[in-house]
Chain A
């Protein structure tokens, strides 16, 4: 099973990449960015996606940084899940990486590619949104713009994600995640993450459903207490504006489990 033939280019700078994408578009040729390939290559093989030009991002120097600054972690779009795991060992940063898939996927799956190819129930999307991450996009004229993770539905034409910024609160927080689906490897029906800041007794939740719902919301201590006591109550579902229909009860129940897990940790040695 091979993809249809394509021209392969490996630019080394952002300017060069944007120029290749622009020239391809002007010439009516379909060019696609290839990062880790864990989503795109199966699509190309199955002929669900087609490309006349594949632009590999692996050599673009502006996408490979991984730095801790005053406003949080600045992670180049080419960083793999394995790299997050390695650099953030013992922190929620690592659990973002670990949760993305099995080890052989994590070695190649990139944070930028994960966002571009994300569905509303993607592990990358839900976990990064719970961490209030935002990403930097560079458009065809080289104009940079910030977007919150979860707000990106359509990338600008010829645009490219260059970095993801995760705010510093992740350093003293705990990340709790859960997903419901037919199997561990399948796309989940519901994916949910809670970033819990124990000292402040505050939480941020992000969830996505296969029906296309995606939302984030903040929880204060009183709300967390309430959820821990009766997660699936209609009052909470209404108060949190969870999606209507059957998913609402399930999202609320999963959220209840996550909040209770934060309590469980308190009593563990």
Chain B
């Protein structure tokens, strides 16, 4: 099937099988391997990308259902100043070790901070429950996101 998509600001028409997930499309067809694939069933959060500014599990999204939506993978945030601050905070707070979960967490953190929703540390822990990290124990991740949120101007 032909699908017209906008990925990281670029419009393109791709020929995809109806059963192809967005995660497989960006990784295998477009070479955007920053998006990771872990469980492939929506439990681990490694594959989170942004669809129209909302965090989305790309393993549970058919590519053909994404027509007309703005798809942004971790590579698409390369010029985003907030994302640079989040990355720097992850670095300084030791919020990553092996790094496999990191792209999904970064995209999620960006969406949470830009949503304008007020959240405290307890709420953040709840919101992170769909993104598994087996290295860090989450303490650094939470500190990094809370630091960025505090520095973010109110909407």
Residues of A within 8 A of B (CB): 1-8, 10, 34, 37-38, 41-42, 44-46, 54, 56, 58, 82, 101-105, 107-108, 184-185
Contact = CB atoms under 8 A, between A and B. Distances in A.
Contacts of B19: 2-6, 8, 44
A4 B19 CA distance: 7
B54 A107 contact: yes
Given A2-B24, A185-B129, A38 B55 contact: no
A58 B52 CA distance: 15
B64 interface: yes
Contacts of B82: none
B42 interface: yes
A82 B54 contact: yes
Contacts of B33: none
Contacts of B126: 184
Contacts of B1: 8
B55 A107 contact: yes
Main secondary structure of the interface of B (DSSP, over half): mixed
Interface in B42-88: 42-43, 45, 48, 51, 54-57, 60-62, 64-65
B42 A46 contact: no
A2 B63 CA distance: 12
A20 B117 CA distance: 41
A202 B57 CA distance: 40
What band does the interface of chain B fall in when counting residues whose beta carbon is under 8 Å from A?
20 to 34
B130 interface: yes
A185 B17 contact: no
A128 B136 CA distance: 37
Contact of A42 (B41, B45, B129): B41
Given A42-B41, A45-B41, A103-B55, A108 B61 contact: yes
Given A42-B41, A45-B40, A82-B54, A103 B60 contact: no
B37 to A, nearest CB: 9
B61 A102 contact: no
A44 to B, nearest CB: 8
Contacts of A37: 60-62, 65
Contacts of B42: 38, 41-42, 105
B32 interface: no
Contacts of B43: 185
B60 A7 contact: no
A220 to B, nearest CB: 33
B130 A105 contact: yes
Contacts of A58: 65
A266 to B, nearest CB: 21
Contacts of B55: 103-104, 107
Contacts of B51: 107
A120 B56 CA distance: 26
Contacts of B8: none
Given A38-B60, A42-B60, A103-B55, 15 more contacts: A1-B41, A2-B21, A5-B18, A7-B18, A10-B64, A37-B61, A38-B42, A41-B21, A56-B64, A102-B129, A103-B127, A104-B56, A104-B130, A107-B56, A185-B130
Contact of B18 (A6, A45, A102, A108): A6
Contact of A2 (B20, B65, B129): B20
19 contacts: A1-B40, A2-B19, A2-B24, A3-B19, A5-B17, A6-B19, A10-B64, A37-B60, A42-B60, A45-B41, A46-B41, A56-B65, A103-B127, A104-B55, A104-B57, A104-B130, A105-B42, A108-B57, A185-B129
A101 B18 contact: no
B111 interface: yes
Given A2-B24, A185-B130, A105 B18 contact: no
B148 interface: no
Q: What 3 pairs across the A-B complex have the smallest Cβ distances?
A: A102-B130, A8-B18, A107-B54
A136 B14 CA distance: 37
